[in-house]
Chains A and B, each alone.
Chain A
């Protein structure tokens, strides 16, 4: 696709009116371009380092649509390569996780080490006459691998900026999670698929405080709590005040609501971190007041600082995605308190989660409604608060907007989506990408 066509796609997000054309949630050609222009470029989350503690440990994950093996090397570094044999393309490893010294393709036996190098193939001398240059036929490696706070990321694009530059100010948000304790991944990943365009899940992650009081009303009314020491969940009406919104370059962002510490359930050890002076010193005054934040690492990682999860939503087509959920727990807590934390997360998020079961129902419906020709004439409205969001840059945080319920972050995600779709390369994108400034 040439850049003029890509610019036309980007035009489906109307920056003046805050509206988005439904085609971007259903059109197969737009979806293919997203894979090229977003998933083939961005740094994408792979795993948490605690999931691969020993040499030879591996996890089978996805970067966008691509199956990727992540392996811990003897020197402690992480290798990531596409899990597809160079001979006929089969997966060389079909288990989700484990420990291995090498990977052997089940079709003809081509064998690769944990760095992805081709180290052997049946009949190399006799059948290939020693003519196959094994150094050229290793598993395709990602361009770069790097970590932030134990989160392993990789990109397929050698022109991508550093991970630090890509994450930019959202690191301040990730620190808000990782400064709560010594967090490690809990074994056991819930996985489920749904007929949903990945962007509906992402725009929910980056900042949809509007849906909580309504989508999750039944959970709130039933007395469910989300863990992390909250005495109760959010109120039954959406509030403009009492929290803030942050968006950053390259499409990341979050909403964070404040907690009234007099309302914290002090009988629950899950609230202890809120009163730990060492933790509070790291968080500082603004983050120290935060109840929980829902965060998006663009394009498709939901990070929840409340019950503490990563939820990766991998695209499987314009109207299908798989969610995989990883729970984080503070490894320094007593075993029974860790158990409480995991239980709270299990009950909150996941396909049976008191909250998440209703999300699945709603995103499915949004996606269905984006697929029909006549409905596609009617754009979706992401304009709540448009023009009223004043960014504040007072040094207390990266630039933020001091309101809680708005669609600034959601529409910001579509603005950045359009930047990615219009740009032909990372150098173009770095030149065109906007910073949040002024009124939004």
Chain B
């Protein structure tokens, strides 16, 4: 077997493992198993979804706000735990009755594996319906850093770059 073929086998195995992890994670969110989902978030989590603006060609560097500027999500593990705790208080009106979501993880590209960390990019397409007539769809690019541990992967970084400037949604009470 050639060296190239061995590398391909290794790459395919990693791709398979990572995709299966991401699909299982997405299923936890769709099944509203939020407490189990929290277990996948690393204690060092950086969960970030910057806001975006329309810029002229040549000014693309200013399209996305930077870390420390305006963001839809600017969270860590502790604040994500608060968000989940909120859902179970009995008073979380934006999610009670609960939204229905379908989390699609697409075009998964592993870009780096070093020091026990796997870096990847993927596309996300989250569909939400709410009550009888609310329909939302959010898409974008996601950059994840996963930590390989004895018990499986945990999410160290999740950066979410939406395709939208002004969201056509009364709220963003779903997880991504």
Q: Please report A residues at the B interface, Cβ cutoff 8 Å.
A: 94-98, 186-196, 214-215, 217-219, 221-224, 322, 324-327, 338-339, 342-343, 346-347, 350-352, 354, 356-364
Contact indicator B166/A192 (Cβ below 8 Å): yes
B53 within 8 A of A: yes
CA distance A195 to B170 in the complex (A): 7
Partner of A222 from B55, B56, B71, B83 at Cβ < 8 Å? B83
Secondary structure type dominating chain A contacts: mixed
Contacts A96-B53, A356-B171 aside, 13 further interface pairs with beta carbons under 8 A come to A95-B59, A96-B165, A97-B62, A187-B69, A188-B70, A191-B51, A192-B169, A195-B170, A218-B90, A346-B72, A358-B93, A363-B170, A364-B170
CA distance A250 to B49 in the complex (A): 38
CA distance A219 to B95 in the complex (A): 12
**Which of A193, A219, A222, A325 gathers most chain B CB within 10 Å?**
A222
Contact indicator A224/B86 (Cβ below 8 Å): yes
Give chain A residues whose Cβ lies under 8 Å from the Cβ of B14: none
Give chain A residues whose Cβ lies under 8 Å from the Cβ of B56: 95, 98
Output the least CB separation between B45 and chain A (Å): 14
Partner of B91 from A194, A218, A359 at Cβ < 8 Å? A218
CA distance A187 to B65 in the complex (A): 7
CA distance A221 to B62 in the complex (A): 37
CA distance A350 to B170 in the complex (A): 10
Output the least CB separation between B21 and chain A (Å): 24
CA distance A192 to B168 in the complex (A): 6
B152 within 8 A of A: no
Give chain A residues whose Cβ lies under 8 Å from the Cβ of B8: none
Query: Which residues of B in the span 33-60 have a Cβ within 8 Å of any Cβ on A?
Result: 49-51, 53-56, 59
B79 within 8 A of A: yes
Contact indicator B55/A95 (Cβ below 8 Å): yes
Give chain A residues whose Cβ lies under 8 Å from the Cβ of B75: 347
Contact indicator A187/B66 (Cβ below 8 Å): yes
Evaluate whether A354 and B51 lie within 8 angstroms (CB atoms) in the complex, with A218-B92, A360-B171, A364-B170 already known.
no
Residue-by-residue, is B73-113 near A (CB-CB < 8 Å gives 1, otherwise 0)?
11100010011011101111110000000000000000000
Output the least CB separation between A346 and chain B (Å): 4
CA distance A193 to B134 in the complex (A): 13
Q: List 19 A-B contacts (CB under 8 A).
A: A95-B56, A96-B53, A97-B55, A186-B70, A188-B50, A192-B169, A217-B89, A343-B74, A346-B73, A346-B74, A347-B74, A352-B172, A352-B173, A354-B82, A357-B172, A358-B92, A360-B94, A361-B170, A363-B170
Partner of A214 from B51, B91, B168, B173 at Cβ < 8 Å? B91
**Which 9 residue pairs across A and B have the least CB separation, nearest first?**
A188-B70, A188-B65, A360-B170, A346-B74, A352-B172, A194-B170, A188-B69, A357-B171, A360-B171
Give chain B residues whose Cβ lies under 8 Å from the Cβ of A324: 166
Contact indicator A187/B85 (Cβ below 8 Å): no
Contact indicator A351/B83 (Cβ below 8 Å): no
Output the least CB separation between A91 and chain B (Å): 11
Contact indicator A361/B166 (Cβ below 8 Å): no
B12 within 8 A of A: no
CA distance A221 to B92 in the complex (A): 10
CA distance A215 to B93 in the complex (A): 7
B151 within 8 A of A: no
B68 within 8 A of A: yes
**Which of A94, A322, A343, A352 gathers most chain B CB within 10 Å?**
A352
**Which of A188, A215, A219 gathers most chain B CB within 10 Å?**
A188
CA distance A21 to B145 in the complex (A): 54
Q: Quick one: closest A residue to B57, CB to CB?
A: A95
Contact indicator B94/A358 (Cβ below 8 Å): yes
Contact indicator A325/B70 (Cβ below 8 Å): yes
B167 within 8 A of A: yes
Partner of B53 from A189, A194, A196, A347 at Cβ < 8 Å? A189
CA distance A422 to B68 in the complex (A): 46
Partner of A188 from B71, B90, B171 at Cβ < 8 Å? B71
Residue-by-residue, is B132-176 near A (CB-CB < 8 Å gives 1, otherwise 0)?
000000000000000000000000000000000111111111000
CA distance A356 to B173 in the complex (A): 10
CA distance A64 to B79 in the complex (A): 36
CA distance A360 to B90 in the complex (A): 18
Contact indicator A351/B85 (Cβ below 8 Å): no
Contact indicator B69/A351 (Cβ below 8 Å): no
Output the least CB separation between A367 and chain B (Å): 10
Contact indicator A98/B59 (Cβ below 8 Å): yes
Contact indicator A361/B70 (Cβ below 8 Å): no
Partner of A193 from B83, B89, B168 at Cβ < 8 Å? B168
